[in-house]
Amino acid sequence: MRRAIFPGSFDPITLGHYDIIKRGVTLFDEVIVAIGVNADKKYMFSLEERMNFIKESFKDEPKIKVASYKGLTVDFCKKNNVKFILRGLRNPADFEFEKAIAHTNRDLAPIETVFLLTAAKTSYIASSIVRDVIRNNGDYTKLVPNSVRVK
């Protein structure tokens, strides 16, 4: 079985993430959306909320699972017998950053990173932008799946 993880903080999941995940399931038998937990980071949404946003977005897609983890992504991969990491690229700066991480991950474990270019219509969306729109009472619904709702 070809399994991939799509790691991130997903604070919150965006339409860009959604697009990469949907396209990822055409390449892999299973995609695990893996929410990395970083104790030093301040999140807008709780881990439970972020997991629920993703589960609700993909409730009708059995090939997509949701999990959380602490520590190195490659350790999560080894523990769960995952051979691929799926990543989305929005721009050249993303590529340079992600390339360094991919090389490091391959040095640490026999894990391949697969890059997908984001769709043109979502390439400008970042979770940090969505959070800023939410903080300033803007219409964030154009940037996220329907499952993301602010209380």
Active-site residue, from 90, 99, 106, 131: 90
Active-site residue, from 17, 50, 57, 87: 17
**What is the SS3 assignment for 112?**
strand
Integer Cα distance of 146 and 150 in angstroms: 11
- Closest to 121 (Cα-Cα) out of 138, 142, 97, 139: 142
Task: Based on the residue annotation, tell me whether 147 is a catalytic residue of this protein.
Answer: no
Alpha carbon separation from 32 to 8, 70, 107, 113, 150 (Å, rounded): 11, 15, 22, 14, 25
Task: Based on the residue annotation, tell me whether 90 is a catalytic residue of this protein.
Answer: yes
Task: Based on the residue annotation, tell me whether 17 is a catalytic residue of this protein.
Answer: yes
Written as one letter, the residue type at 90 is: R
Task: Based on the residue annotation, tell me whether 9 is a catalytic residue of this protein.
Answer: no
Q: Please list the active-site residues.
A: 17, 41, 90, 127
